[in-house]
Structure 1
């Protein structure tokens, strides 16, 4: 099968991207993942604050429906007029322990508005209150209900841990011989919770968001009795044949990039079609951020989702 060559962003960053990287360091964003204590302090803080919710401005532009499914608060977003029949499932990142953010909602507003599609967004149960098997089961219940309503989920999208959860959901669907989506978009995916790649140490100094010690602990809390090497927790270890055509966005200044590239190679070797985009000098989850480079990646996503 012919594979798409990687699309690479030019090494020179925009002023917006440089400014955002500086802001991350000034705010000490990496502290959340630089140690186990930092991770636990961050979890306690976001549990007090709760997940971000769609803004009033977003509700004026989009139809926002909320319901409870399998213990999850589930948001269904669609245009107020002119909706297409395309339905997407989005799983947010946050190392399986942190909730959805305003950056996710801004991205989702763009996605619905630009494609006139319906997007289903479950606020799936987080670790340590939930663990992998229960979380995958909850997401599967949301998927099955929405597929019964809409006839088909056209694509899965997810960032970071949400991308890993997309791959775990694919495993669960494949095991039960259920239908996979037509396409999948993975944004800076978290695919190996062991974080053993030898390249991580050098990249850690450039990564302004993530750190291996805290992130590995987040994976441990999520894995529970399965352990970090289980394919549901670390999908780079799963059998990757039969995946839907997949687009992967990777950032070089992201400690997760090394394992994500291994995932791409393994998926391609298994016969899956993978469209790879590399953001040189960019940070984790850059397509969700308010920087010029995000526009390029979003255009690539939209074009990919439109392919038949």
Structure 2
């Protein structure tokens, strides 16, 4: 059963009608205009006091480097791709989660503010992230890095893997996918019956966001909807899903297809959990953070 704090969060999302930003095409477009005016969230003053935060420009976009004040011998360098349906910028919830992850794990995390739709499209965004990944590998003098992503960022992490494979570049060492958006078409038969249980997402707005992002590639392209890609050869991955999330049906289907393709996949299903629950300030989120930290530590020792 979800924790009391999780239940209160769900009630809050319903009262504040959080779902309305995806309730129609017009609502989605209105929301995009609003967040373009406010811009992306920035690391908080508390983060800047506690972490070593540096900003650089890679592939023409800002990339934040979050590192412990005191480096650890076991620290890895990870690339994190934030969610937001490919149209919305990074939020304070992402920064709070990343702050906790750096402090708890001792790892360094690079966070690019990658180009968003409709100003950008999938081809440009994936190409940008490929360049960022390669430049980070060169800076760290590593052949490959671990990659994490939530929601659309999880889908982008998978598109990154596909693009790297197409170019003959070494794939990431590990993937951590937090409720990844693996099919922008939102066509799973179970989605319609799950809409009323999801306090955050609505398929109609998400489909439009996916269409805007797809551009000339179209929504069936595996860089846009990784569920349709060649999953064989993907690196080991940890994937989180929540049963109150309309996207979880596709996430579980993706995990099963990975297993069939011979990928080492570790699924974590949060019963009664909403979209991107591992990054939220709820007890279940803290448990997920511990699982992520342990997974990365195990990968380092493997």
The interval holding the TM-score normalised by the smaller chain is over 0.9
Asked if the contact 2:242–2:274 (Cα under 8 Å) also holds between the matched residues in 1, the reply is: yes
2:291 aligned residue: 300
User: Which stretch of structure 1 is more off in the superposition, 86-95 or 143-152?
Assistant: 143-152
Aligned to 1:79: 68
Contact 1:248 1:277 in 2 (8 A): yes
Residue 194, structure 1, aligned to residue 185, structure 2: yes
Asked if 2 retains the 8 angstrom alpha-carbon contact of 1:83 and 1:118, the reply is no
Residues 67-122 of structure 1, C-alpha deviations (whole Å, 9 max, x = no match) = 22122111011011124441000000000000000000011001111111110000
Q: Which residue of 2 aligns with 1:240?
A: 231
Q: What residue is the counterpart of 1:126 in the other structure?
A: 116
Residues 1:262 and 2:259 are matched in the alignment: no
Query: How far 1:155 sits from its partner (Å)?
Result: 1.0
Counterpart of 1:281 in 2: which secondary structure?
A: coil
Structure 2: distance between partners of 1:129 and 1:233: 16
Contact 1:72 1:122 in 2 (8 A): yes
- Verify: 1:43 aligned to 2:32, yes or no: yes
Name which of 87, 105, 125 aligns with 1:97: 87
What displacement does 1:25 show?
0.7
1:175 is matched with 166
Provide the secondary structure at the position in 2 that maps to 1:77: strand
Asked if structure 2 preserves the Cα contact closer than 8 Å seen for 1:173 and 1:180, the reply is: yes
8 Å CA contact 1:77, 1:112 repeated in 2: yes
| 1:238-275 C-alpha deviation (Å, 9 max, x unpaired) | 00011111000000011101111111111111100100
Residue aligning to 1:204: 195
Equivalent in the alignment of 2:17? 28
How many residues align? The count is 297
2:138 is matched with which residue: 145, 148, 173? 148
Deviation at 1:151, TM superposition (A): 2.2
Q: CA deviation at 1:298?
A: 1.1
1:111 aligns with 2:109: no
Q: Which runs of 4+ in 1 moved over 6 A?
A: none
Match of 2:175 in 1: 184
- 1:128-158: CA deviation from partner (whole Å, max 9, x where unpaired): 0000000001111111110001123431100
User: TM-score by structure 2 length?
Assistant: 0.97
Q: Which structure exhibits the higher relative contact order, with contacts defined as CA atoms closer than 8 Å and separated by 6 or more residues?
A: 1
- Backbone CA RMSD of aligned residues: 0.9
What are the Cα deviations for residues 218-242 of structure 1, in whole angstroms up to 9, with x where unaligned?
A: 0000000111110000000000011
Q: What secondary structure does 1:276 align onto?
A: strand
Q: 1:161 and 2:152 equivalent?
A: yes
